[in-house]
Structure 1
């Protein structure tokens, strides 16, 4: 995990399997990732439930008790398998990208002149229950997609009309006024969804608040100020 923090390292972190450098990197990631925070809490609850389980109770009557499952070895094998799958996916993606570049060069040569307009990559999907809003004062507009989960709410988010440089974060606001940070980001110059930089900001996050508790989402500027409020 030394080159990139992965959500799949939550289990290894909970069992103390990460090396010192990886552990520090994951803890830095954990502070801004509601999804990993929720999963880590779930693992803590599961560990408490398993700690009181008598291994003899899990065996059928009349059969000899099997040795306890090697949990740590299992997690290590799972991490290794995840890393192998990611390497295969990266290699396949690189090969596909190379093929697309070759096709693009051929098409441009055949067309001549402008060679056609380059295609923008598809925007990250907004999934689940959708809500949109815009703020005439700041020029910002955004969309959230919400999926109710047992551990809280999964959030997909798109933001446009924001000029940089800025540091912002997305907060979920509950009926009681409680706030939960879904995620944070930097807005470089010139910004997102503005002239010269038309691509929107796309983000995935999570909150421990259930869907029924949430009344709105707010894009908050670090240091003070609200760019956008999206009622839900």
Structure 2
């Protein structure tokens, strides 16, 4: 009697075993609960290769159909069994089918549930690092001038203070800086940027600006923060 392996359950479910191997495996199957359970889980595998249609506009080659795919799999399994009794990977069926004329398997191998779909035109929104930090923190709102609004989320670091800024109501073009002011009156520029003519958080350009910045001073040593223009105008003040 031919040697039987548990890994033959995949080949058996696809009908790829020759007669001797099939009879030997069926005898083994009657005595092996784990193989019977796995065979039950793979019940949908055979149907995967049935009714497969092209996913491209051009048709698959006329001389390469389902029978050829099955024959190729059968010959591959026979070679594996002659050379070594290796593990038969069910994914081989999907791989060969995809190569054979651009076909695709539209069912899961373990059952009839369709894979989850992603709605076209609605990608998952990913926040930028500064916006994410601001959203996860507790903003300290500032006092603005000329309709400017905004706030900071602050975090103490070993090197000083990390800040995330949200700014709205700013019209460009402008060049701005976020400045930390110590309790002794010293100033340090934390970050700088340009405001385009469209601005941020204004009609026609409703999205606010989010920026990162860092100060070398500890949070307890900072009195307040300012958003200023390079011309010296203060747009926003946030008390630490």
- TM-score w.r.t. the length of structure 2 is 0.46
**Larger fraction in helix:** 1
**Higher Rg of the two aligned structures:** 2
Identify which of structures 1 and 2 has the higher relative contact order when contacts are C-alpha pairs closer than 8 Å and 6+ apart: 1
